[in-house]
Amino acid sequence: MRTHTGARTSQCQECGRAFGYKSSLQKHVRTHAREKPYKYQPCGKAFPGQHTFLVPGRTPTGNGSWECKECGTTFKIRLHFECHMTTHNVVKPYECGECGKAFRHHPNLRVHMRTHTGERPYECKECGKSFQRYGHIKRHMTTHSTLKTYECKECRRSFRDQSYLQVHMRTHTGERPFECQQCGRAFRNHTDLRVHMRRHTGERPYGCQQCGKTFRYHWNLRNHVKIHTEERPYECQECGKTFRYKSCLREHMRTHTGERPYECQVCRKTFRYHWNLREHVTIHTGERPYECQVCGKTFRYNSCLRDHVRTHTGEQRYKCVHCGKAFSRKCTLVLHTVRNHAGVETWNVRNEGKLSGNIDL
């Protein structure tokens, strides 16, 4: 009668989920305990439920069953049989038409395609945030719950999910079990490793729908889109200047506060931005990491290399608005302006070569 009434009398003490049958509750509890009592004999892989596979020989072949011709394993469910067959030949017949990545199963391809289309079909009813995968929204829903049952014994920080606690514990133990086979770099979780691998494969799965430019990370695409929308949502409360990115606003605020958080460990000189410190350190180390691919000349700063390359290409991007003379370097244009246009009150070199602003002679 429970199938008609919908009554669910058996409740999980861990997460509160209710079930109509005690046997269903018992199977569910194993997901919390990570218990996997059923072992698949051909490969030794363990599963929480017996329904995941059929042990060879226990179910006779015939109508409604599928038998593997390679190892004799039989299956009641055709999808399970098809998934099993890929373990013998490792065939990946489903290929992405956008990037060429191949998959064993069509559902995996369907989910992968969302990285190209931007589709996020799973929406949170609490906050409206959407996700590409069901597992992601399921995990996200725990952020709306105030219950945090898994506590770290080291720092007393608590988590809503046991898997989060397991990953967090690696910050104390220093464990990095996921290692890149290309460069040997190790990571605390599999997601970080998967994202890192794009550096080696060159994969750029996130494409802009406006201009077609592709990106390695989804946050790069999210920031790039603002170029087309001209959105500048972050405003400085001191001077009213707006920015596309929150990080740019945060760095801009240092011009008002005078904060210089980056300090050289050799001479104790401080800097407002981390890239200023990085370039400054090369003064002490003598490092010249930027090399011209044409003549082999090396430079301390990337900006110097860019200016130098123009001596080979002949590009003269800095043009004087007063006499029309063009230069390959910004500093040369500034020097020209001071020497030949001393009466000019304003100047400011922009990328397109225009001048406006102030000159202090």
57 pLDDT band, cuts 50/70/90, is very low
Q: DSSP states of 180-231 as a string?
A: -TTT--EESSHHHHHHHTHHHH----EE-TTT--EESSHHHHHHHHHHHHT-
Q: Would you say 48 and 60 are in contact if contact means Cβ atoms under 8 Å apart?
A: no
Q: Report whether pLDDT(349) > 80.
A: no
Which has more pLDDT, 73 or 287?
A: 287
Q: What tens digit of pLDDT does each residue of 194-246 get?
A: 888 888 888 888 888 888 888 888 888 888 888 888 888 888 998 989 888 88
295 pLDDT band, cuts 50/70/90, is very high
Helix (H) or strand (E) holding 66: strand 66-67
Residue at 224: amino acid letter: H
Share of the chain above pLDDT 70, in %: 77
146 pLDDT band, cuts 50/70/90, is low
For residues 85 and 79, give the distance between their C-alpha atoms in angstroms, rounded to a whole number.
10
For residue 17, CA distances in Å to 20, 23, 24, 135 come to 11, 14, 11, 17
Mention the CATH class of domain 262-313.
alpha beta
User: C-alpha angle 53/57/58, rounded to 5°?
Assistant: 65
Give pLDDT, residue 185.
85
Q: What tens digit of pLDDT does each residue of 297-345 get?
A: 988 888 888 888 888 888 888 888 889 888 888 888 888 888 888 654 4
Tokens describing residue 213: 């430019």
Q: Which of 17-26, 90-99, 163-172, 282-291 shows the lowest mean pLDDT across its residues?
A: 17-26
Residue at 79: amino acid letter: L
Give pLDDT, residue 358.
40
**If you average pLDDT over every residue of the chain, what do you get?**
76
Select the highest-mean-pLDDT range: 86-90, 110-114, 162-166. 110-114
| Of 290, 289, 260, 291, residue with least CA distance to 277 | 260
For residue 77, CA distances in Å to 42, 55, 180, 246, 281 come to 18, 13, 36, 51, 64
Q: Report whether pLDDT(174) > 80.
A: yes
Which has more pLDDT, 131 or 143?
A: 131
Give pLDDT, residue 83.
67
The burial of 353, by beta-carbon neighbours within 10 Å (0-12 exposed, 13-18 middle, 19 or more buried), is given as middle
CA dihedral sign, ordered 135, 138, 143, 146: negative
**Dihedral, CA atoms, 333, 336, 342, 346, nearest 10 degrees?**
0
Tell me if residue 48 falls in helix, strand or coil.
coil
